[in-house]
Structure 1
Amino acid sequence: MSLIVTMADAVPGREIDRVVGIARGNVVRARFFGRDFIAGLRNIVGGEVPEYTDLLSEARETALDRMAKHAEELGADAIVTVRLSTSSVMEGAAEILAYGTAVKLK
């Protein structure tokens, strides 16, 4: 069985046997001058900045993958109540944190 990951409080059709811990994964990503330059040009005309959209999307996936790996190391079958958080750690760099409750299922 592969790891189940959900933002819900439970896994439908399954019962939680026990909590094994908090699973978490994070990544800190910094902006890149080339992307900043292109984003600055896009800022003049307005609209979405796909360079940053892609950067943050990749960072979220990395954080989620690291959270899943941590849960597997804890011996979990699933992660419930998954949440994502972001914070600025310095000018031009942001942390993406994925966390949830790692559980064993019956």
Structure 2
Amino acid sequence: MSLPERELLIAVLGSAIERTGRGGQAKVAKMIGYSPTSVCLAAKGKYPAGARKMLEKMLQVFPATVECPVLGSIEITRCVEERRRPFGAASGFAARLRKACGQCKHNTTGERNASGDR
């Protein structure tokens, strides 16, 4: 699985687990038709097979939007893209977004930009 797909799967899983509340990974696994072990491995970025299919199933079952503290309600794909974008201090807005990404609960990889600065 490519890095962006893995990040997207981890982000979607994190959001889904948060939304389902008690039962977390096991409840999400049941809802998407995968084993709890598979979901646990995927959440850690270590799912070995069919990750694209799991991602597609996740996006079918769970809405793919998150609440960004800077941008408001956005597609989860944009969340991952913004997080991976290299930092450019061209504006105060870019600086606010970078700071928010680094502290955001949706940033499950801990990444702030494509260079990996933290």
TM-score, normalised to structure 1's length? 0.27
Larger radius of gyration: 1
Which protein has the bigger helix share? 2
TM superposition score normalised by structure 2: 0.25
